[in-house]
Amino acid sequence: MNVNNSLKIYNNLTQSDAKIRTSMERLSSGLKVNRAADDAAGKAISEAMKAQIRGLETSNRNIRDGLSLLDTAESGMGLIIDPNLARMRELTLQAANGTLTADDRKMIQTELDAIKSSIDDIANNTEFNTKKVLSPPTQFTPGESQSTAIDIVFFIDDSGTMAEEISLVNAGINSFAENLSQYGNVNIGTVSVNTSKPGTLSALNNDPKQVSDYISTHHQSEGGLINVYDQLVDFAPTGEKASDLGYRSNSKKIFVILTDTYDEASNHATRETVAQTLTSNNIQSYLFGINFYGGDASAQNQFQSDDAYTFVNQIYKPQTAADVADNISPGLTDAIIRDAELIEEAIEPIDLQIGPNSGHLLRIDLYDCRSEAIGLTDIRVEDYSSAMKTLDQIDQARELMSHRRTIYGAYTNRLEHALRFSENYQLNLTTSESRIGDADIPKEAQSLAQNQVLLQSAQAMLSQSMKQSEAVLMLLK
C-alpha cells in the first residue's frame, strides 16, 4: 500500500516538474510553441506567417527604394521641362520677331544649342544606384531575326560644287554600307543626280565592297547641274527607271539624298510630284545637306533652305567638313536602323518586387529623355519659318515630357498605396502570428507558481511516504 502511494506521489512530482520546465522554457523564450511537439499545426502556421512577415518587411524596403527612384527620375524630368524647355520656347519666340538681326539670331542659336546640351547632360547624369533613369540603355538583336527586306538608294550630288565634300561622302557611305550589312537583309544602290552623268547608277545589291568600289570609281565630282526631283520620281518603284535598280517586290524602300544645293534642272517633276510619289510608294526619305552652313553664305548654290525638300522625313546638316562622314555613319546609319526596324529595340523596364510572394511585381517603364529622343532634332532659328518649326518641336517635347511625368506621378501614387497596404498587412499578420506562437506571460507565470507549489507538496509527501516505510522496517527488527 505504501509502495503504491509512493509511486503515485512520484508520478505527480514528475508531472509537476515537467510542467515547470515547460513554463520556464516559455517564459524564457517568450514563445508558446518552441517545438513542433508543442503544437504541430500551430508551428506550421506560425512559420508560414513568419516567412510572410519577413517578406513584407523586405517588400516595404523595395517599395521605398522604388519611390526614391521615381523621385529621382521625376526631378530630372522637371528640370528638363523647366527651366530648359521653357527657356528654349522663350528664345524661339524671341528669334521669330522681325526686329532682330541675323547676328541677334546667331546669339540666340548659341544659347539654344547650349540648352539642348544641358538637357542631354541632365538625362545622361540622372542616376539611381548607378542606374541611368532618363537615358536607359536599349537592348537589341541585330540581323539574326530580321526577315524584312530593305532597299536603300543613295541619290548622290557629284556635281562641281561637291568637289571638296565628295571624298568625305564616299567615306561615309562606305562605312554606312559596312555597318548596315550586319543587320541582315539590306540592299544598297546609288544614283548620280548630276545631269552631266546620265546613267551613272549602281543596282541594288548586298555586297558592301561592290558598293564602295562603285562609289570610288564613278561618283567623282564633275561640272553640271542636278535634277534631284526628276531622279526621285524616275527611280521610284513606280518610275520608268525602277527596273535599272532592281527593287525587291516585298522590300521596304528608303531614299537618301546627298546634296549641297537646291538648284533644280527639273524637266517634269515638281516638289508636289515628288511628295506624292514618295507617299504612294511608302518610301522613307532622308536629306543630307552637305554644305548647309559652309562656304559663301551668299552663293546661290549653297543649301540655305529646307523649303526645297519639305517632303523628306529628316534632314541632316553637318556644320563642318569633319562632320560629314560621322553624320552619314553612325548618324544616318543609326536613324535608318531605327526607322526601318532592322533591330529589335527596347528600353528595359524596372520590375519592383512589392509583395511577399511570387508575381507581386510593379513594372516601371523608363524613358529616354535626351534631346534627340524627345524630338529636338533640328533646333534652328535663322528665320521665321525655321523658328516656327523649332517652336512646334519644343511644344511637342514639353507635351511628351509632361505626359511622362504624369505617368511617373501615377506610379508614385500606386507605390504609396502599396506601401500603406503592405504595412497594414504586416501589422495584422504579426498580430495573428503572435496569438499562435507567443507565450501568454501572466498565464505561464501563474502556471509556474502553481506547479512549483505542487512540486514542493509532492516532494514533502514523498518524504513522508519514505518515513512510513522506515517505520515498518523498524517493527521487523
- Res 292: pLDDT: 44
Residues 178/214, Cβ–Cβ less than 8 Å: no
In a domain, 11, yes or no: no
* Rounded CA separation 233/255 (Å): 11
List, in sequence order, the alpha helices (H) in 30-142.
40-79, 86-95, 102-125
- Asked if 130 and 145 sit in the same domain, the reply is no
Residue with cell 499562435: 436
The β-bridge partners of 154 are 190, 256
Position 218: which residue type?
H
Mean confidence (pLDDT) of the chain: 81
In a domain, 37, yes or no: no
Name the E strands within 206-279. 252-259
In a domain, 430, yes or no: no
Q: Is the peptide bond before 356 cis (omega within 30 degrees of 0)?
A: no
Phi, psi of 189 (to 5 degrees): -135, 165
The β-bridge partners of 257 are 155, 287
The β-bridge partners of 438 are 31
Query: Alpha carbon 396 to chain centroid distance?
Result: 20
The x, y and z cell numbers of residue 469, run together, are 516505510
- Asked if 301 and 205 sit in the same domain, the reply is yes
Q: How far is CA 339 from CA 200, 333, 343, 477, in A?
A: 28, 10, 9, 118
- Asked if 98 and 175 sit in the same domain, the reply is no
In a domain, 16, yes or no: no
- Asked if 264 and 318 sit in the same domain, the reply is yes
pLDDT at 237 exceeding the cut of 90: yes
In a domain, 352, yes or no: no
Please give the average per-residue pLDDT across 178-183, as a whole number.
67
- Asked if 84 and 152 sit in the same domain, the reply is no
- Asked if 325 and 183 sit in the same domain, the reply is yes
Query: What is residue 303's DSSP assignment?
Result: -
Please count the structural domains in the chain.
2
Highest mean pLDDT among 27-31, 119-123, 312-316: 119-123
pLDDT class for 185, splitting at 50, 70, 90? confident
Is residue 315 within a helix (H) or strand (E), and if so which, with residue range? strand 314-316
Please give the average per-residue pLDDT across 140-150, as a whole number.
59
What is the per-residue pLDDT across 371-392, written as a single tens digit (0 to 9) for each? Answer: 988 989 888 998 999 999 999 9
Supply the CATH number for residue 384's domain.
Answer: 1.20.1330.10
The x, y and z cell numbers of residue 112, run together, are 539654344
pTM: 0.54
- Asked if 295 and 417 sit in the same domain, the reply is no
* Domain membership of residue 290 as a residue range: 141-344
- Asked if 178 and 228 sit in the same domain, the reply is yes
- Asked if 231 and 147 sit in the same domain, the reply is yes
Supply the CATH number for residue 253's domain.
Answer: 3.40.50.410
